Structure 1
Amino acid sequence: MRSPICSLLLASAVFAAPLAAPLVALGVGAAPDLAHAAVPETKRIALVDLQRVLMETTQGKNSKKDLEKAVAKSSAKLERKAADLQKQYEDLQAKAAMLSESELMRRQQELMVAEQELQELYAGAQEDLAKKEGLLMEKIYKNASAIVQSMAAEEGVQIVLVRSELTVLYANPQLDITNKVIVAYDKKFK
């Protein structure tokens, strides 16, 4: 004995088949013929790891060194100011018992202002360094982009993707033109 659901499915299949045949003959509901569809043919795809271009080109390496020097210089200046401020705090703690209440309050206020200024200097230094890094990276990116466009035109590449773990899960290593881009970049931008 068949279940009511099975009987209902069988009946709907029997009645639907004769109705669907004329529609398929007219091309309605039929699967598209992919062999004859007008799909543009992709000749070639390439990948470029821009992070490697940034880190491995001569200009990128020099920019990184310049940024590291700027960070070291800024850090040394901030560390000196922080050490000086710490010394002032320790000095105030040592002399607190000998100072009048108004003098103690005045010095504490001065130290709080100095600490706030130090925090502002730190934030400003971070902002300046981030801005410098952004400008350097933008310059290298624009240069690399121009080189990639030129290489793509020469080699008949229609699509160049940025290779990263977030954008490309897998690609044939033969599609990666990063090494060529680095060599061309170093030749053009010394």
Structure 2
Amino acid sequence: LVFLTAEQKRQREEEIVKTEQQATELQGKYFGPEGELFDRRSKMIKPLQDEIWQAIKEIASQSGFQLVLDRSTAGIVFANPSIDISDQVLEKLGYGRMR
């Protein structure tokens, strides 16, 4: 058995904590929300997303669609600005035009 003095034990604990902090920082650098993986993924996906958005916009305009929904999320993908009544609601509430 090896017995450590209180000072040696404290030093080892500090080393462990420091190593854990470094590992966490490194993990964040590569895999966190502002990490390299997220950045690279965003740069690769953005052109495809832009292309899809443009296709949706063109089809919606050509077909006279006012609204395009995403079935997978039930979210709105495209909405014709002419059907947006936000300004009218704000005006009715007495806030006037906000844009």
The TM-score normalised by the length of structure 1 is: 0.31
What are the equivalent positions in structure 2 for 1:38-187 lying under 5 Å apart? 95=2, 97=3, 99-127=4-32, 128=35, 129-152=37-60, 156-159=62-65, 161-164=68-71, 165-167=73-75
Q: Which protein is richer in strand relative to its size? A: 2
Unpaired segments ≥5 residues, structure 2:
77-99
Aligned amino acid, residue 70 of structure 2? R
Find the aligned partners of 2:29 and 2:7 in 1 and give their Cα distance.
Answer: 33
Cα pair distance change 1:142/1:152, threshold 3 Å: same
Find the aligned partners of 1:113 and 1:134 in 2 and give their Cα distance.
Answer: 32
Higher relative contact order (CA 8 A, sep 6+): 1
- Per the alignment, residue 87 of structure 2 pairs with none
Find the aligned partners of 1:162 and 1:131 in 2 and give their Cα distance.
Answer: 28
Cα pair distance change 1:162/1:138, threshold 3 Å: farther
Find the aligned partners of 2:60 and 2:68 in 1 and give their Cα distance.
Answer: 11
Cα pair distance change 1:124/1:112, threshold 3 Å: same
Cα deviation, 1:74-133, whole Å, max 9, x if unaligned, reads xxxxxxxxxxxxxxxxxxxx74x1x33222211211111001111122222222223333
Deviation (angstroms), 1:151: 4.3
Taking only the aligned residue pairs, the percentage that are identical comes to 13
Do 2:60 and 2:68's aligned partners in 1 also have CA atoms closer than 8 Å? Answer: no
Aligned amino acid, residue 147 of structure 1? A
Q: What RMSD over aligned residues (CA atoms) do the two structures have, in Å?
A: 2.6
Unpaired segments ≥5 residues, structure 1:
1-93, 169-190
Find the aligned partners of 1:101 and 1:167 in 2 and give their Cα distance.
Answer: 60
Q: Which protein is richer in helix relative to its size? A: 1
Deviation (angstroms), 1:157: 1.3
Q: Which secondary structure does the structure 1 equivalent of 2:74 belong to?
A: coil
